[in-house]
Amino acid sequence: MAHTNYDLFVIGAGSGGVRAARLAAKAGARVAIAEDSRIGGTCVIRGCVPKKLLVYASEFSQAFRDAKGFGWSVDLARFDWPSLRDNVQAEISRLSGLYRKNLEAAGVAIFEQRAEILDANTVHLHAAGAALTAARILVATGGASYRPAELKGQELAITSNEAFHLGRLPARMLIVGGGYIAVEFASIFSGLGVETTLLYRGDKILRGFDEDLRDHVQGELARTGVDIITKAVLKDIAALGEGRRLATLSNGMRLELDSVMFAIGREPNTRGLGLEAAGVKLANNGAVVVDEFSRSNVASIFAVGDVTDRINLTPVAIREAQAFVQTEFMGAALPFDHADVASAVFGRPPAACVGLTEAEARAKGQVRIFKSVFRPMKNILAGNEQRSLMKLVVDAASDRVIGVHLAGPEAPELIQLAAIAVKAGLSKAQWDATCAVHPTAAEELVLMGEAVAHDNEAPA
């Protein structure tokens, strides 16, 4: 084609977009990136990183309660929300600055303004009023918090975006939703001393996770003080004055609160990008439809990360970006394998999984199930009744461990190593042949010798 301004123009400077831009530039491509918010994207600015810092803060309250059993007296502990909030935002600014420096060091041109696709090879920069051309355009705009526009009083509620910037910590809070974002923020605010209610329309939180894991997390979250209301929805929100809210539920309950937070999902961030005009096919929810190489139906337009609604996790966006660059700029056609991607919910207790749920595995064939529920050693002296869960799903025919589901303090850390074993296709016999490390919670993973459930016709 005729000369273009860039070999690659990336829209969205989140984890996926930044990785693609840097790698392509290092491979010798002329690269530009546009971002209409802060460099770093959802994960760094309003997602994984600040959320995990809040999770750390929320865990101190339980640690202080547990300390007495170990001989420690913590009599003057008190929490200051503005200090935490401002410290977290300072760290976010530092990380955003590092992302910028890395882009600049790689030679990527940065445009801090909104970009819109005009056609297959042209991007319009709104603030500059300029049109630039590129041989390839990569859409990496992520997702956006969903608000129910039809709900009366929805403007009185916040989303996870605003939760990081609250002027003061609410005394009473309603979180609407039952997915990982809702569970994580319910755990955070409850741990920080907020009287927290979680409202979910289904009968059990964490839809899509293994049923035993769902049961365990819901029970333990309630045990630690979160009030969980299921089988009901929010009907409307009204202002009561002095910043308070009245939430009316479909079951007739009326809750007086200081804050209502929506955590009812995210949607692909494709509005106003010009994708339809460029002929790019979108799914019903607005996601960019792509093939295994992250190519849209328009040959020069690609997409990675949450905007494609494949697996909405930061590491997945990064790996999709790497595969895109390797395929398009390094001459090695390499799709990212989306099978057996581990994930974690940083709630109370933390939960993590990789591979198939028991239900998914049973739909494919015969299985054996191994499960252990126990109180971690640390909790015994502390008088802490919280339990951990470990569950293995094993294919009966091959003896392969095809699913691992964990809930407990170390779950997110353990699942990374368990994911290696699952991805490698290791058998239950190989897990069992691995000597335990004692005393640890992780040793349960190699000590579950007897199946607690298996198909009648499957070998025991």
pLDDT score, position 455: 59
Q: Which run of H or E residues covers position 404?
A: strand 401-407
Over residues 51-81, the pLDDT tens digits come to 999 999 999 999 999 999 999 999 889 999 9
Residues of the chain with pLDDT > 70, as a percent, come to: 98
pLDDT at 4: 82
321, two tokens: 């970006």
> Taking Cα atoms as reference points, which of 353, 364, 379, 335 lies closest to residue 455?
364
pLDDT at 1: 44
Partners of residue 34 on adjacent β-strands: 11, 111
Residue 380 contacts residue 402 (beta carbons within 8 Å): no
Alpha carbon 168 to its chain's center = 25
Residue 381 contacts residue 453 (beta carbons within 8 Å) = no
> Which uninterrupted H or E stretch holds 85?
helix 81-105
- In the chain the domains, ranked by start, together with CATH numbers, are 6-145+267-329 (3.50.50.60), 154-264 (3.50.50.60), 349-454 (3.30.390.30)
Percent of the chain with pLDDT over 90: 95
As a whole number, mean pLDDT of residues 247-258 equals 98
Report d(CA 123, CA 108) in Å as an integer: 16
Q: Is the pLDDT of residue 456 over 60?
A: no
| Alpha carbon 366 to its chain's center | 31
Residues 61 and 74: beta-carbon distance below 8 Å: no
Provide the token pair at 155.
């403007």
Q: What is the mean pLDDT of the chain?
A: 96
Rounded CA-CA distance 66/392 in Å is 30
Catalytic residue among 124, 165, 405, 438: 438
What pLDDT was estimated at residue 265? 93
| pLDDT tens-digit readout, 28-47 | 999 999 999 999 999 999 99
> 112: which 2 tokens?
């801090």
Please indicate whether residue 450 or residue 458 has the higher confidence score (pLDDT): 450
Query: Given this model, what pLDDT does residue 64 score?
Result: 96
pLDDT number for residue 433: 97
pLDDT recorded at residue 449: 87
438 is catalytic: yes
- Kindly report the pTM of this predicted structure: 0.95
pLDDT digits (tens, 9 = 90+) for 89-119: 999 999 999 999 999 999 999 999 999 999 9
Query: Contact 329/136 with Cβ under 8 angstroms?
Result: no
Check residue 457 and give its pLDDT.
42
